[in-house]
């Protein structure tokens, strides 16, 4: 049986923790960081995600995973995503590694574990299912995600088989 997402009181607590970490960074770096939008619309196996779309920054949280592991996510996921936001604000025009030394420095400032893996049981958390598309190579058939399929169809990507190193070809009707 699937679990229910966190309620409005818990969401407010997560928002407050997010803002608290932003304030900690602001005090340390002696600057004010813009308020960041916090959404609870993430699905699947991902607990949190920082995103910048060219206009605004947003942190997205998975309300079902937070429901199942509320304390762990307050301790680990919230500072993790806020650290991504702070690094983006500090280095907006530089490409930095997502979990590189700049991000690790912010995680240290927060007193948070810079580990990037989430290894908890998510069997009763609703999962997002992405459609797959049939592809083949010289040695086997492959199931390719819609995202990758669309890249191939637009001519923006090509994928190779890890076994025979041949380019994957679409097996459906193009």
Angle at 21 between CA 18 and CA 26, to 5 degrees: 125
Helices first, then strands: H and E counts in the chain: 6, 6
CA distance 33 to 173: 49
68 contacts 34 by C-beta, under 8 angstroms: no
Which among 109, 102, 112, 172 has a CA at the least distance from the CA of 142? 172
Which residue out of 81, 89, 143, 167 is catalytically annotated? 81
Active site residue 27: no
Cα dihedral sign, 38-42-47-51: negative
Tokens 């989430």: give the residue: 118
64 contacts 125 by C-beta, under 8 angstroms: yes
78 contacts 18 by C-beta, under 8 angstroms: yes
**Which residues does the annotation mark as catalytic?**
81
């Amino acid at each position: 049986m699937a679990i229910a997402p966190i309620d409005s009181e818990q969401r407010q607590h997560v928002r407050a923790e997010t803002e608290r970490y932003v304030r900690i960074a602001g005090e340390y770096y002696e600057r004010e960081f813009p308020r960041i939008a916090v959404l609870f619309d993430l699905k699947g196996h991902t607990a949190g995600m920082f995103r910048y779309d060219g206009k605004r920054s947003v942190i997205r949280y998975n309300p079902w995973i937070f429901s199942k592991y509320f304390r762990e996510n307050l301790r680990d996921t919230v500072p993790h995503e806020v650290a991504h936001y702070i690094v983006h604000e500090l280095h907006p025009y530089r490409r930095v590694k997502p979990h590189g030394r700049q991000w690790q420095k912010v995680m240290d400032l927060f007193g948070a574990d810079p580990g990037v893996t989430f290894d908890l049981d998510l069997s009763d958390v609703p999962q997002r299912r992405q459609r797959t598309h049939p592809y083949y190579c010289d040695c086997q058939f492959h199931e390719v995600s819609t995202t990758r399929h669309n890249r191939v169809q637009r001519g923006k990507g090509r994928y190779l088989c890890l076994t025979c190193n041949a380019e994957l070809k679409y097996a459906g009707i193009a």
